[in-house]
Amino acid sequence: METLDWKSLPFGYIKTDYNVRCYYRDGKWGELEISSSEIINLHMAATSLHYGQEAFEGLKAFMGRDGQVRVFRWKDNAARMKTSAQGILMAEVPEELFHDAMVKTIKMNLRFVPPFGSGASLYIRPLLIGSGAEVGVKAAREYLFMIFVTPVGPYFKEGFKPSRMIITREYDRAAPLGTGRIKVGGNYAASLKAMDLAHREGYSSALFLDAREKKYIDEAGPANFFGIKNSTYITPDSVSILPSITNKSLQRIALDMGMKVEVRPVPVEELATFEEVGACGTAAVISPVKAIVDDESGKTYQFGSNGEPGPWSKKLYERLIAIQTGELPDPYGWVEIIK
Ligand SMILES: Cc1ncc(COP(=O)(O)O)c(C=O)c1O
């Protein structure tokens, strides 16, 4: 076991021992290659560098109390990566290849899986890029698929603490018929300025609105949005947000806890009616939100009391973490134990 200070790991990159790579050439995927280098050799005219042919994923593995490593919903990440590939004309990574690469990478870096109870986990980052050279704007003929892992700390250093967000109207993350629904780098580049502005003003994230009308909530930086009222979990239906696997999981758990679930457009004014609000994603599971500022209307929407996370958010968060770490049984078939 690696002797890192597990309890104070950041959500950042730490070098591990190995990564795996696979090249798509002449219309087919080659053999998985194991590498101990952090560097990739890339043609300077690769389409990923010039035309944004790049997609990635993010998922986590957890060490259980029983010493077994559990990966959460990897099939959903593999499926989403296929959708991303289709969206920007890249070679698709077959599910078996994704699985093989993932299991190999985890097993070769087992000493970096944070111990049970540390709150930390092993973040798995699959990456698919156009590696073939083109100068005209077109899809590459060659691709590189790789996976690296890195141990990451609990997202919230001071625990499960609600934060403040700000609605952004100056920037759009994704256009209605653009690439918001897939996990490609361009969406993140488009979000950087708004996120930076929000951070500099002391907010945890920018809250993006629908690009067409600026009437509905889209998502909160790299996380989906949800609001809760009257025992109902409400989350936006939008053509320009990433279908979050955490969000899908929370919806299922919410139903099974007796809540109602609504997936529909969420107008900004509805913020005034929510009892609890949160952002959800792999990194934090749930980031509770205590206030949302709207500079245009001058309104600040407040949620919860005493700056504490709401009761439903807390229950959802605890239930999902317990399933991921093997503390509760997994009735959904979400977890795979790495053998
Ligand atoms: C833009 C965006 N929305 C939402 C999410 C949350 O998705 P997931 O729950 O699958 O991590 C992410 C992170 O992957 C993201 O990048």
Which pLDDT does position 154 carry in this prediction? Answer: 75
Which pLDDT does position 157 carry in this prediction? Answer: 60
What distance in Å separates the CA atoms of residue 71 and residue 81, rounded to the nearest whole number? Answer: 17
Q: How do 232-235 and 260-263 pair as beta strands?
A: parallel
CA 244 – ligand 1 centroid, Å? 5
Neighbours of 26 (CB within 10 A): 8
Does an H or E element contain 326, and which? none
Is 224 a pocket residue for ligand 1 (Cβ < 6 Å)? yes
Q: How do 205-209 and 28-29 pair as beta strands?
A: unpaired
CA 224 – ligand 1 centroid, Å? 6
Q: How do 59-63 and 260-263 pair as beta strands?
A: unpaired
Would you put residue 285 in left (φ > 0), alpha (ψ -120 to 50) or beta?
A: left
Longest dimension (CA), the chain: 60
Which pLDDT does position 168 carry in this prediction? Answer: 97
Is 168 a pocket residue for ligand 1 (Cβ < 6 Å)? no
**What does 9-34 look like in DSSP terms, one character per residue?**
--SS----S-EEEEEEETTEE---EE
End-to-end CA distance of the chain: 18
Which pLDDT does position 158 carry in this prediction? Answer: 59
Which pLDDT does position 2 carry in this prediction? Answer: 64
Q: Indicate which atom in ligand 1 lies nearest the CA of residue 249.
A: 9
Which pLDDT does position 49 carry in this prediction? Answer: 98
- Say if CB 105 and CB 149 are below 8 A apart: yes
Q: Indicate which atom in ligand 1 lies nearest the CA of residue 223.
A: 4
- In the chain, at which residue ranges do the beta strands (DSSP E only) sit? 19-25, 28-29, 33-35, 54-56, 59-63, 69-72, 121-130, 143-152, 163-168, 205-209, 217-220, 223-229, 232-235, 260-263, 276-281, 285-294, 299-302, 335-337
**Residue 256 burial by Cβ neighbours in a 10 Å radius (0-12, 13-18, 19+):** exposed
Which pLDDT does position 27 carry in this prediction? Answer: 97
- Say if CB 293 and CB 164 are below 8 A apart: yes
Q: What's the average pLDDT block by block, 10 residues per block, for the chain (339 residues)? A: 80 95 98 98 98 98 98 98 98 98 98 94 98 97 98 75 94 97 98 96 96 97 96 98 98 98 98 97 94 95 89 96 97 97
Which pLDDT does position 141 carry in this prediction? Answer: 98
